[in-house]
Structure 1
Amino acid sequence: MGTVDDSLADLPEPERGSLQRVIDIARTLLPDAEEGMSYGMPALKLDGKPLIGVVAAAKHLSVFPFSPAVIDAVAHRLEGYSLSKGTIRFTPDHPLPDDVLEDIVRLRRSEIRK
């Protein structure tokens, strides 16, 4: 196991499964992504740069694509979710759509590898 898997293992369900789904989607698209820490959170990294991070807070879960531009690019598809320039908040009862998560990962990959 690695940093991300170890961090998720400590979470209760359904939070663990919800965040694991985010990581699994990213790993499916980018199997060469490495586990690590970025800005104090467990994250997948690509070419040594943060790709996507996940965090469980008291009342929500968060995805961090480490890019305000990526969030801006998908914001119109996330009505009903709480967004800021650095994070997308959701709950296990209101998960992020798979296609949006896939686009977040692809967009961030494009930024990293431009």
Structure 2
Amino acid sequence: MPGAPTTIDDYLAAQPTDAADAIEEIRLRVHRIVPGVTEAIRYGMPTFMLDDRYLLYLGAWKHHIALYSIPPFDGPLQNAVADYRAAKDTLQFPFSRPIPFDLIDRIVTELLERRRAADARHEH
């Protein structure tokens, strides 16, 4: 049995096609939205890091893709993610429905904006 993945490519190679394709699409979008993002495997999952701190974790499961450490949002974005909220900080996107990549773009953009705002507060 092979060891735990050490890169996102290793992680993808171990996934069924639908999961690997969805994660690869998310990966491409995260890199487009977040300048300077880096990749890691943390807790056995693909992790996108910004300034050596995690920005987003994701994982492939039998029936869904999950995004982790997703805080509550305000207004329209909170309403948009409500159907996918599986736990306080988890969103699940089932394979039985089209993966809402545009919504994931909005989530990643919001996470980036929150990180930048927090960093700006800490600089003062």
TM-score (normalizing by structure 1): 0.79
CA contact (8 A) 1:4 1:35 kept: yes
Aligned length: 112
Alignment RMSD: 2.4
Deviation at 1:58, TM superposition (A): 2.8
Match of 1:88 among 87, 91, 94: 91
Distance (whole Å) between structure 2 residues aligned to residue 80 and residue 109 of structure 1: 22
Distance (whole Å) between structure 2 residues aligned to residue 10 and residue 71 of structure 1: 36
Distance (whole Å) between structure 1 residues aligned to residue 20 and residue 49 of structure 2: 20
Distance (whole Å) between structure 1 residues aligned to residue 74 and residue 46 of structure 2: 19
CA contact (8 A) 2:63 2:95 kept: no
**Distance verdict in 2 for CA 1:15–1:72, change over 3 Å:** farther
Deviation at 1:108, TM superposition (A): 0.9
Secondary structure, counterpart of 2:62 in structure 1:
coil
Deviation at 1:82, TM superposition (A): 4.3
With CA pairs under 8 Å and 6+ residues apart, which has the higher RCO, 1 or 2? Answer: 1
- Structure 2: state its 5+ residue gaps: 1-5, 118-124
- Give me the identity figure in percent: 25
What is aligned with 2:106?
A: 103
- Structure 1: state its 5+ residue gaps: none
TM-score (normalizing by structure 2): 0.74
Distance (whole Å) between structure 2 residues aligned to residue 71 and residue 59 of structure 1: 28
Greater Rg by CA: 2
What is aligned with 1:69?
A: 72
Distance (whole Å) between structure 2 residues aligned to residue 37 and residue 97 of structure 1: 23
Distance (whole Å) between structure 2 residues aligned to residue 38 and residue 113 of structure 1: 22
